[in-house]
Amino acid sequence: MDLLNVPKNTKEKIIGVYKYSSCNVNSLVNALEMISVSYKLSSNFSDISNCYKIILPGVGNMKNISKENMSYMSKEVKSYILEGGFIYGICLGCQLLFESSDEAGRETLGIFKGKVEDISNNYKLKLNIGYKNLNFEEGNWQEKKILKYFKGVDLNTKFYFLHRFYCNYDDEKIHNLKINVNNKKMPVLFFKGNVLGTQFHPELSKKSGLNFLKNVSEMPL
């Protein structure tokens, strides 16, 4: 699908939070309330399809999402994006954006080109957990819209991670940020068109994470 040529977003300026199977929304909802962002929570995508932006929360296991539910989500999310909607995926929600997942052993939403792979395959690590610095020294993070999401955020701050799988993207047009893991670079932020994904949890990343989440929620497209 063409993420770079979508129509102007004319939807209601409220954040939709999609409570799909396997996700945990409590920390995210608490964070949105802390930063005074209006939101609508639903386990039915059509109930929030008129929201200006929709967040796919993190925490969970890809295996717990059935093949039927994945197919439903793929159709709904793609239709929403093509109508001008903005999607933000967090952790597992970010991994869902890619074409397939080794954790689930099947296709995922297919928004970004690439696949979700076991961290141990490339990083000699079983679990990436804790607070880590984003690498702003290289990559194509300078893309102007990415900068807007970090407005008021200390670029030396650390963001919280908790994951066993990582996103191996296969599209040079995806703007990204990485972290350093065992002397290698791991991509953890992905942005293209009206779609953003972060492997880190902004809702668990203290003040800077809340600032990032507020920017994502309120920045015009």
**What is the secondary structure of 21-38 as a DSSP string?**
TT---HHHHHHHHHTT--
Structural domain boundaries enclosing 58? 12-218
Inside any domain, residue 36: yes
* Domain membership flag for residue 3: no
69, part of any domain: yes
Of 13-27, 42-56, 165-179, 207-221, give the lowest mean pLDDT range.
Answer: 13-27
What's the domain count of the chain? 1
Indicate whether 4 belongs to any domain.
no
Q: Which residues are catalytic?
A: 91, 201, 203
pTM: 0.94
Q: Is residue 204 part of a domain?
A: yes
**Closest among 198, 219, 171, 143 to 2, alpha carbons compared:** 171
Identify the CATH number of the domain in which residue 141 sits: 3.40.50.880
The Cα–Cα gap between 102 and 136 comes to 29
Residue 202 half-sphere exposure toward CB, CA atoms < 13 A: 30
Q: pLDDT tens for residues 42-84?
A: 999 999 999 999 999 987 778 788 888 899 999 999 999 999 9
Q: Is residue 150 part of a domain?
A: yes
Yes or no: say if 36 and 79 are a contact pair by the CB < 8 Å rule: no
